[in-house]
Structure 1
Amino acid sequence: MATSKGIENPELRFSAALVRAANLPGVRINREAYLRQALGRQCSEEEIRRAIEETPAAAGIPVEVLDKAANDSINYEAAKTSALSAAAGIPGLLLLPATVPADVVQYFGHMLRIAQKLAYLYSWPDLLSDENDDLDDATKGVLTLFIGVMFGTQSANAAVGKVAGMMSKQVAKKLPQKALTQGVIYPVVKKVAGYLGVQMTKQTFAKTVSKAIPVVGAVVSGGLTLATYLPMAKRLKRHLSGLDLTKPTHVVVDAEVVDVEVVHEPSASGHDDQSEADDTVPAR
């Protein structure tokens, strides 16, 4: 009975999907390799070296260069996940029990890919570069918040801003472990995870409908994926690019971030978790 309740819990359902997606082949982005590839044509070797050792902001890389690299990465990932979603729709009704869960997880995998790329461009620390590392709780927490931003939850926006503020004020290049795992940010992470678990269930149902007819389902599913993924990725780009971490700073250091900020848990009414009116994400 306990296992059944755990599966039905939206927060646990999302957390399990997040871990599964993070462990898919090709989902983890090597920060150094990505920054070299993304900035190679526009920046000098010295700028790239400093961006890798510190941050792109500390290297003084112009925001226009970062924005172009971000847009290129968004378009690449959107096209890739749309193609994979369309391919998963071809089998039709017969294979739905197998294709739908896998398709949702790969969709989250591509959300994690673009979240990492945007984070590295806009001066966040290494998140998932090592394929062999377990997903620690602090990283899981910040990735949950990033996806929450992509879904338009205001509480995730505020929490990401607070985490960035902690790191910026203390010029550290490590996530605030305590705040994300047991401190002031943690209640928000849990609430956002629960909200995302509910949205994941809705998306699974929408995909079941779109894939019911072979070939036609493939076209619909691929189109829905593209229509949702692009605005979600752009929403995260807008948010990360506007944070203090993107501003030129002095040398960042390997220091623990002190948990000093206060983030209030969203109200029980759920109003904080409504999508932004200017860019609503439809169910897929």
Structure 2
Amino acid sequence: MKKSTDNSANTKNFKTNLNKAAKNTGTAVSSTTEKAKTALTKSKDFILKAVDTNGIGEIGIEDFIIIGLQTPGIKVNRADFLQRELMKNYPPEVIESAITHNPAYAQISACEIDKIADEVIKFERNCVSGIFAALGAPGGVAMVATIPADLVQYYGYMLRAAQKIMYLYGFPEIDTTKKEHKFDSETMNLLIICLGVMYGVQGTNTALKAMATALGKGVEKRLMNAALTKGTIYPIVKSVSKWFGVNMTKQVFAGFFKKAIPVVGGVIGGGITYLSFKPCCDKLKESLRDTLLSNPDYHSTKEEDVIIDAIEIQEV
């Protein structure tokens, strides 16, 4: 009888201890979860603070353009670039004409310009292909500071490719100098339109072609700047910025979680970067290779004419 009583007591004690252990485990898990949530929130806040260069409290394409243009080697000097690319096959007078006007004006064939553009895209793609793999290794707490770095470099190389492609197909020098610690709004908005074309954002291809045609017709720079900053092209700029804002926030914080799986983050990330970069550049090339700046016989579409007419009568 005593043995039975002892067994009953032992069972009761075991259940009590088990309940306590379960309760303690639940408390520990809950505490760990809360700590993880707090750490994640702090990490997100840190990333936001690091990337939000224009200080509006959110991540957008403007932030990556600003950071990109501040990165050594991303800005492209138009004259130096054209000189370097054309000196292999053309005499000084042709190069001078291409720099003073544009390559098409200098009678450089469209086929030759396409070849140079393809080489530019290939070079920049090779530069960008190792970014994710290089940053994919685990880095503990310190890795938080590098999370936006892959995207910053990616868009930096994309900006460099965009400048080169634009110069090959006739665009004048883009003002990438800082004035009072910031870049001109017209420069920012032009690059936003270009990146929109590269990602196939609706309306950007027509806007860029219209701008090229307007420049080819000799529209004053002040009218073009007004169209970019407050006129007919500005609503398209805002739409593109909004599109990028949504997608970039996802990219930045998806990159944070991806760091938890370094092999996947490194290997797959590098592949995605390599594969996605060229199609984006090809879209910009295809848009610019047939405009009034690159083809004297180009005829604009009705949609482009609406924008061009609005630019020409733009109030400054």
**Which TM-score applies when normalising by structure 1?**
0.79
Tell me if the contact between 1:167 and 1:174 (Cα under 8 Å) persists in the aligned partners. no
Cα offsets for 1:27-76 (capped at 9, x unmatched): 10111111111122222221111101111111111011111110111011
Is the counterpart of residue 65 in structure 1 residue 112 in structure 2?
yes
Q: Report the secondary structure of 1:124's partner residue.
A: coil
RMSD between superposed Cα atoms in Å: 2.7
Amino acid at match of 2:289: S
Alignment-derived partner of residue 48 in structure 1: 95
Matched, 1:186 2:234: yes
Deviation of 1:92 (Å)? 5.5
Query: How far has the Cα of 1:93 moved from its partner?
Result: 6.2
| Structure 2, unaligned runs of 5 or more | 1-48, 298-306, 312-316
The residue number in structure 1 matching 2:26 is none
Q: Report the Cα distance in structure 1 between the residues aligned to 2:137 and 2:73, rounded to whole angstroms.
A: 23
Which residue does the alignment assign to 2:266?
218
- Please say which structure displays the higher CA radius of gyration: 2
Q: Deviations over 1:67-109 (max 9, x none)?
A: 1110111011011011233211223565442222122111111
Which letter does structure 2 place at the counterpart of 1:197?
G
- Give the aligned partner of residue 10 of structure 2: none
How much has 1:131 moved relative to structure 2?
7.6
Q: After TM superposition, give the deviation of residue 182 of structure 1 in Å.
A: 1.1
TM-score (norm 2): 0.71
Partner residue in 1 for 2:224: 176
Higher RCO, 1 vs 2 (CA within 8 Å, ≥6 residues apart): 1
Q: Which residue of 1 aligns with 2:81?
A: 34
Alignment of 1:144 with 2:192, yes or no, is: yes
Deviation at 1:216, TM superposition (A): 4.4
Moved more, 87-96 or 60-69: 87-96
Q: How does 1:91-130 map to 2 (within 5 A)?
A: 91=138, 94-128=141-175, 130=177
Counterpart selection for 2:214 from 147, 166, 187:
166
- Could you tell me whether the CA contact under 8 Å between 1:28 and 1:128 is conserved in 2? no
- C-alpha displacement of 1:214: 3.0
Higher alpha-carbon deviation: 114-123 or 204-213: 204-213
How many residues end up aligned between the 2 structures? Answer: 249
Which AA in structure 2 matches 1:37? R
